[in-house]
Amino acid sequence: MQRTAQPRLWEIDLARGIALILMITYHLLYDLNVFFNFDVAYEQGLFYLLGKAAATLFILVAGLSSSFSQNNTVRGLKLIGWGCVIFLVTSIAVPGSNIVFGILQFLGVCLLLYPVIKKISPYMMVGIGAAVMLGGEFTSSLPISHNWLVPLGFRTPGFASVDYFPLIPWWGVFLWGIALSKLVYPQKKGLIKSNSKLLKPLSVAGQHTLLIYLLHQPVLLAALYLIFEPAGFFNLLTNLLFLMHRI
């Protein structure tokens, strides 16, 4: 018997849309600082919290929505694949960049692990999630001599990655998302109905999260180069054409 696809929940798409806005804003600040030398303190204060809020909301919603999906394994492999593509593209287009176990690989692994833990009670899952998050306070401080366990959160003092989301502590947030789904959506039905025209664009954007995630940085950088450094835009375009030729 063919399974019936779960209907989209408006409020979950809205949460994804909000996370996208937070993420794009944070990456705009990052680009201004790193590529154009603007004095933007993206690594501290309110701007730093903005980036963490975007990531936390993304992961929480990903955990929540995994309970509604019937193809988490396929989705997980797809995200891991795209994460590898981003690693290759950035390493060629932006020499010196380093993205090891970024958010796409992290979410992909979380989705692959979902079948193993999906039957755990939500209250136990909250406890496990809290323990995993607290574990993040120790993994980064342990004396590690190699980076073989980087996906888990164990790394050498010299390890660096532009985008890095280790399972410890971030898997705890994903687990809380699953627990939230079990507690708030036991019938897998939406709780909020809205016909707001103001919020609809955010909800629509939340339905295309992966596409927007993949495209937003190239679009941001192209726009910023055109505004502040037109010559750099053509250099960036040359690198992209070279990359396409290599592929």
pLDDT tens digits, residue range 115-147?
999 999 999 999 999 999 999 888 877 888 888
pTM of the complete model? 0.89
| pLDDT for residue 239 | 65
> Rounded to an integer, what distance in angstroms lies between the CA atom of residue 206 and that of residue 60?
14
Contacts for 226 with CB less than 8 Å, ≥ 6 apart: 233
> Rounded to an integer, what distance in angstroms lies between the CA atom of residue 116 and that of residue 34?
40
Quickly state the pLDDT bin for 213 (edges 50, 70, 90): very high
> Rounded to an integer, what distance in angstroms lies between the CA atom of residue 89 and that of residue 35?
17
Quickly state the pLDDT bin for 1 (edges 50, 70, 90): very low
Phi, psi of 177 (to 5 degrees): -65, -40
Helix axes 72-93, 230-246, angle to 10 degrees: 120
> Rounded to an integer, what distance in angstroms lies between the CA atom of residue 37 and that of residue 160?
21
If you average pLDDT over every residue of the chain, what do you get?
Answer: 87
> Rounded to an integer, what distance in angstroms lies between the CA atom of residue 26 and that of residue 102?
16
| pLDDT for residue 192 | 74
pLDDT(218) > 60? yes
pLDDT(4) > 60? no
Quickly state the pLDDT bin for 27 (edges 50, 70, 90): very high
pLDDT(2) > 70? no
pLDDT(234) > 80? no
| pLDDT for residue 241 | 66
Phi-psi domain of 96 (left: phi exceeds 0; alpha: psi -120 through 50; beta: other): left
The per-residue pLDDT for range 150-171, each reduced to its tens digit, is 999 998 888 888 899 999 999 9
Phi, psi of 48 (to 5 degrees): -65, -45
Annotate 78-112 with DSSP letters as a single string. Answer: HHHHHHHHHHHHHHHHSTT---SS-HHHHHHHHHH
Q: What's the whole-number mean pLDDT along residues 106-123?
A: 95
> Rounded to an integer, what distance in angstroms lies between the CA atom of residue 130 and that of residue 175?
9
Q: What's the whole-number mean pLDDT along residues 35-58?
A: 92
Phi-psi domain of 47 (left: phi exceeds 0; alpha: psi -120 through 50; beta: other): alpha
The per-residue pLDDT for range 63-80, each reduced to its tens digit, is 999 998 889 999 999 999
The CA distances from residue 76 to 71, 82, 133, in Å, are 9, 10, 22
> Rounded to an integer, what distance in angstroms lies between the CA atom of residue 99 and that of residue 165?
10
